[in-house]
Amino acid sequence: MISAVWILLLVQGLAIVVAPRRMALLIWPVILLYPQNLFYDVLPYNAGLDDIFVLLLGARLLLSRDRRRSSSYRQVVILAVALWLMQTLAEGTGVLRYPDSLPEMVKTALKGVVVVVFAGVMSQVVRTQKEIELFTTSFLISIVAAFIVVVLCFIDPLLGQYWEVTTFVEDDRFRLGAEWRAFGPLLGPAAAGLMVCLMVALGLGILLHRPQRLLHRALAVAGIILALAVLLVCKSRSAIVGLGGMFVLMSIISRRRLGIVVLMVIGALVGTYFAYNNVGELAGALGSRLESGVLDEAFDVRMEHWQTVVANPSPAILLFSEGLPALVRRLDVAPHNGYLDVIFLWGLGGIIIFWMLYSRLFKWSRRVAKEDPHPLSRGLAWGLIWATAAIAIYALTADPWYITNYRFATYFLLTIVWVRYHRLQGCGVRPGGKAAGLRLGAVR
């Protein structure tokens, strides 16, 4: 096994050195489809070959970057570094109270470095409209493939052993919680539900703005259908609530209400049919998780946790609080609420950093969504806005920012909207100005 790892690292490194920008197109398949359990615990701190791929690619591009152009594209990297520093400092504060939690802090910090390097790679390789199209294609193909693997792992649980780092049960299912659920490369109901919210929003944004390439529209349709199938498999109540809230907002704000409703109905019907051999089982299991008694019990447990967290803030809350490992050690509960995470895990520093992140996200996305002449960029910008709305509701009962794939996707989409926003700024286009005539199908 160790020899195989070294051979793969050698081949990977040589390919990156020879053709870094071409290899960058493989970053999404590597991130979303990498079999985590195949080489689990071979490298230190449970690092995977996906992490090594990102780090090698970032180092190679850093050495070969065009310094004359790169300074304009550092905004997303700065946000990524700020968030990484904030989370590292928060967990470092927790280590002062619980020194034996240092390995957890180091592992989180190292994963944060990978995410920052990923943001740096995106800032180097996504600069033109053609590159936006290429990397969007890679992203959509990879997430569609990841959803297919999730469904296949549910149909044939033996496939899950390549991805699932968990205990295998002889009943030919991975049993997690009260219901049978399988996740493949998405590694849990929270991550699966979060990526479902993201894909449905992006798919709707692309379809409603009709990009020129048929491939993008076909991938958007496939992504929405498979996302709904994954939702049936993972049965994430947070994702259901998030998507429901997103659709309510879209039906109120969007000018394309009829199109949204039609796509919802078609996607729901086809998604149910896709899970053809498990429709009855899936529907019954999902229904049991949505019964009023089950929901009331789950909400009561969440409420007890929230009250405990709010009633016992960290003494360092005015700085960077204490991070998750220390809070769990101190209170024996986890927040399961993205807003409590920001305030009670990361303190005042977390509030400032997340305000910086999301204020820029909406500022860049809103202008691109309304004024960009390219329909794909407009669709992705609107998709990012709607996905953020869905995840804001999802975060009421879950912790989205701990899910690495969501962070990767956010920095990727932020890079796209920043590149297009910067181009609009450079062209001297003013909000509401002449470019407003280019709002082909803009959703308000």
- The per-residue pLDDT for range 101-159, each reduced to its tens digit, is 898 898 889 999 999 999 999 998 998 899 999 999 999 999 999 999 888 887 777 77
Instruction: Kindly give the confidence (pLDDT) of every residue in the chain, 444 residues in length, as a single tens digit, with 9 standing for 90 and above.
Output: 556 655 666 676 677 777 788 888 889 998 998 887 777 667 777 777 788 889 989 888 887 755 545 455 688 999 999 999 999 999 999 998 899 889 889 888 999 999 999 999 999 899 889 999 999 999 999 999 999 988 888 777 777 777 766 544 444 433 433 234 456 788 778 888 999 999 999 998 998 888 878 999 999 999 998 998 888 888 788 888 898 888 888 877 766 666 667 766 665 666 555 544 444 455 444 545 555 555 556 667 788 888 899 998 888 888 888 888 899 888 888 888 899 999 999 999 899 999 999 999 999 999 999 999 999 999 999 999 999 999 999 998 888 888 889 999 999 999 999 999 988 887 654 444 444 333 333 333
Distance CA 415, CA 419 (A): 6
pLDDT number for residue 49? 79
Distance CA 240, CA 245 (A): 9
pLDDT number for residue 68? 45
Distance CA 227, CA 124 (A): 30
- Pick from 389, 392, 386, 390: nearest CA to 369: 386
Angle, helix 323-331 to helix 75-97, in steps of 10 degrees: 30
Residue 69 maps to a domain: no
Domain count within the chain = 1
Distance CA 168, CA 146 (A): 21
Residue 66 maps to a domain: no
Beta-carbon contacts of residue 81 (< 8 Å; ≥ 6 apart): 116
Residue 443 maps to a domain: no
Distance CA 365, CA 257 (A): 21
Distance CA 368, CA 417 (A): 6
pLDDT number for residue 47? 74
Residue 217 maps to a domain: yes
Residue 11 burial (10 A CB sphere; 0-12, 13-18, 19+):
exposed
Question: What radius of gyration do the chain's Cα atoms show?
Answer: 22
pLDDT number for residue 358? 94
Residue 58 maps to a domain: no
pLDDT number for residue 178? 29
Residue 5 maps to a domain: no
Distance CA 188, CA 303 (A): 22
Pairing assessment for the beta strands 179-180 and 175-176 based on DSSP bridges = antiparallel
Q: Which domain holds residue 178?
A: 75-438
Classify residue 172 by its DSSP letter.
T
Residue 16 maps to a domain: no
Residue 254 maps to a domain: yes
pLDDT number for residue 61? 85
Distance CA 141, CA 121 (A): 19
**How many CA atoms does the CB half-sphere of 45 hold within 13 Å?**
15
**CA distance from start to end of the chain:** 54
- Pick from 247, 252, 192: nearest CA to 386: 247
